[in-house]
Amino acid sequence: MNCQRIRKPIRLSRFAANFFAVALLSVALFSVVLFSVACGGGAEGKYRDPSGTINAEFKDGKVYIALGGYAVDGTYTIEGDKIIAKGDFGLMLPSPLVFTINKDGSIDGPRNTMIPRLEKVK
């Protein structure tokens, strides 16, 4: 007599299959978001306030900020929806400056500074 055990294929319940599909989709979506944030392409560019008096440019890890005739530069990093600019900005601006990236592509100036909401220049 042959006493081999017959293995049945593993069958996932409907709940487990749906959970697995949602988990896989979530990991894929997270990867795309992480890649786009890490590349920094979304925040790079020139920004200005509606009057054109205040300008900021973020490019290749460097930031340039002009407040009328007062201009400073430094470096920046992106962490989530924040742009963190660091440098010797003098007495008019604190360091670091933390800008918030809005869903419409504009950025909000740091709190307690004279930098208002800045629109991306096209």
45-120 to CATH, choices 2.40.160, 3.40.30, 3.30.420, 2.40.128: 2.40.128
CA distance 15 to 77: 41
| Structure tokens given for 55 | 């300008």
CA distance 97 to 102: 16
CA distance 109 to 100: 7
Residues in contact with 68: Cβ distance below 8 Å, sequence separation at least 6, in sequence order = 53, 54
Each residue's pLDDT tens digit, 93-118: 899 999 999 999 999 999 888 899 99
CA distance 91 to 75: 18
Confidence tier at 2 by pLDDT (50, 70, 90): low
Model confidence pTM above 0.75: no
Q: Which of 49, 51, 71 is nearest to 115 (CA)?
A: 49
Residue 58, φ and ψ in degrees, nearest 5: -115, 120
Q: Partners of 86 in the beta sheet?
A: 75
Each residue's pLDDT tens digit, 31-77: 544 444 444 457 899 999 999 999 999 999 999 999 988 999 999 99
